[in-house]
Amino acid sequence: MGSDPVPSRRSELTGPPLERAVWHPSPNFGLRRDGLTPTLVVIHYTAMKDARAALERLCDPESVVSAHYLIGVDGQMWQMVAETMRAWHAGAGNWHGQDDINSRSIGIELDNAGTHPFSEPQMAALERLLSDILIRWGIAPDGVIGHSDMAPGRKCDPGPRFDWTRLARRGLARDCRTGAAAPETGEFQALAQSCGFTADVPEEALLEAVRLRLRPWARGPLEHGDMAALAGFSGGS
């Protein structure tokens, strides 16, 4: 997260909201560091009572958290931070060897506890938003990731019920090719890192993150299926 200094000329920095979103500005943002622009989109779930509760927290200066967008279960969308600004949604983590994900990304919160499927109106709204963002910033589908991808062991959202396959079929996330040859399990960490999972975490946390993205039903020790899924993910870009 972090507590960046809030720019004083806020009206010039927030900019107009996305046309389909309700503008509900959060004070919790700052300038993107080192001249960075968005190359990633990080998807979260709120794990709160409802969208209104999440909106209040994301706009509470004492919470020191925010996101660029929030989408409710009915597809209602709020924009809290301008895309040009650095929202405080990702926290510590790493993806493809890069840190300060907040400065490199746009954060989208989905009203969901992580224990049930994401609604059709919500997914449809997310798809429209993602399509706009990827075009606007020239971000490849590979740049759409989950919070758990870049923060293994610390975060588990958007969770096992999120439909990554649906996004991939629409060209809005990296696809995972089936039938890929699986390397030996001893190569797990190197293969996971080549796919982007570069956070410095124990293998157990790394496996959990990989499974959340690719095999959320899997349990137990590392197995052949995990390696085959990673090999397919590596070749799916």
Summarize pLDDT for 112-131 with one digit per residue, the tens. Answer: 999 999 999 999 999 999 99
Give the whole-angstrom CA distance, residue 2 versus residue 63: 11
**Any domain includes 3:** no
**12 has pLDDT over 90:** no
Please count the residues of the chain: 237
Mean pLDDT of 37-62: 98
Sign (positive or negative) of CA dihedral 106, 204, 176, 75: negative
Q: Give the catalytic positions in this structure.
A: 109
pLDDT in tens, 176-201: 887 777 889 899 999 999 999 999 99
pTM value? 0.92
Angle between helices 224-234 and 203-214 (to 10 degrees): 70
Identify how many contiguous H helices and E strands the chain contains and give both numbers. Answer: 9, 8
Closest by alpha carbon to 110, among 97, 92, 123?
A: 123
pLDDT at 10: 34
pLDDT at 20: 78
Instruction: Give the CATH number of the domain where residue 137 resides.
Output: 3.40.80.10
Domain ends where: 175, 192, 211? 175
Question: What total of structural domains would you count in the chain?
Answer: 2
**Any domain includes 5:** no
**Any domain includes 2:** no
pLDDT in tens, 17-46: 455 799 999 999 999 999 999 999 999 999
- Which helix (DSSP H) or strand (DSSP E) does residue 86 occupy? strand 86-87
**11 has pLDDT over 80:** no
**pLDDT over 70 percentage in the chain:** 90
- Same-domain pairing of 158 and 55: yes
